[in-house]
Structure 1
């Protein structure tokens, strides 16, 4: 009997354990031009890292809810960031100028960072 593999969006991470430390990063925020690093969040008890992009069908219909949810938890001390690491050659609308528009439009209270190193999902 062939077992159906669930889509990536439904898989749980098995590679991160309690106490996991995020890798160092230095990424620009297109909206403000600021360069953010992991050290910028050192004072927070935890950091929520979301990997999103403008065109993603799983994210598109949740953008308002992401903004609302993160605002709620940021007020409680949870630091949050989103990172887009899509190739702008493949997905031009995921480029920095469009990211800045999205962050402004949906009133993101977290930095929406651009990772220019293209990766495949």
Structure 2
């Protein structure tokens, strides 16, 4: 596992379009996932210890964002030839295990991950009402083994700023995790 930080894409960037399948073949597009106040796109996978660390918080995060009328979608772009534990059928099992009600999509070509400039799992991209990048980086300062509680503080404060139409003045620190497993 290579510890990899977010690339910290430029704020104000427009969300790249996508239409990807989930593990059961149902396709979800950017427009379908977006709600009135925006969208959170999370790049993640099944096997990464950094994702496993926060997996139990992702559905509560989704519910908090839904209450703010912000959509949420997760995307797995890992190469499943070398990392079969990230295959779509196993994504379904992970979704069921954690009670995910948000779409967990598979980016087989890795084009969507490249379009977002995603680098690690988990990698968070929060877009506002106009689908402009408002926040990117860490969920909070919790990491496997550091003892800090998982609160979603950084991301949720940014989401609240979107809803209240205020400037987010908090730090935008990179997320860190496993690198996306790119195809050769």
TM-score (normalised: structure 1):
0.81
Q: Give the C-alpha shift of residue 101 in structure 1.
A: 0.6
Aligned to 2:4: 8
Partner of 1:93: 85
1:71 equivalent among 63, 82, 88: 63
Q: Does the aligned pair in 1 maintain the 2:35–2:71 contact within 8 Å?
A: no
CA distance in 1, matches of 2:86, 2:31: 26
Runs of 4+ in 1 over 4 A off after TM superposition: none
Shift of 1:8: 2.4
Query: Which ranges in structure 1 are unaligned for 5 or more consecutive residues?
Result: 1-6
Tell me the CA shift for residue 41 of structure 1: 3.3
Distance in 1 (alpha carbons) for counterparts of 2:92 and 2:108 = 15
| Structure with the larger RCO, 1 or 2 (CA within 8 Å, 6+ apart) | 2
Write the distance in 2 (CA, Å) between the matches of 1:28 and 1:17.
27
Give me the whole-angstrom Cα distance separating, in 2, the residues matched to 1:113 and 1:106: 15
Rounded Cα–Cα distance in structure 2 between residues aligned with 1:42 and 1:69: 15
Aligned partner of residue 65 in structure 2, secondary structure: helix
The structure richer in strand per residue is 2
Q: Write the distance in 2 (CA, Å) between the matches of 1:42 and 1:63.
A: 21
**What runs of 5+ residues in structure 2 fail to find an aligned partner?**
111-180
TM-score (normalised: structure 2): 0.55
Provide the secondary structure at the position in 2 that maps to 1:39.
helix
Q: Find the counterpart in structure 2 of residue 116 from structure 1.
A: 108
Corresponding pairs, count: 111
Change in Cα spacing, 1:42 to 1:71, as seen in structure 2 (3 Å) is: closer
SS in 1 for 2:40: strand
Q: What is the aligned-residue RMSD (CA, Å)?
A: 1.9
CA distance in 2: counterparts of 1:96 and 1:85, whole angstroms = 10
Corresponding residue SS for 2:75:
strand
Match of 2:53 in 1: 61
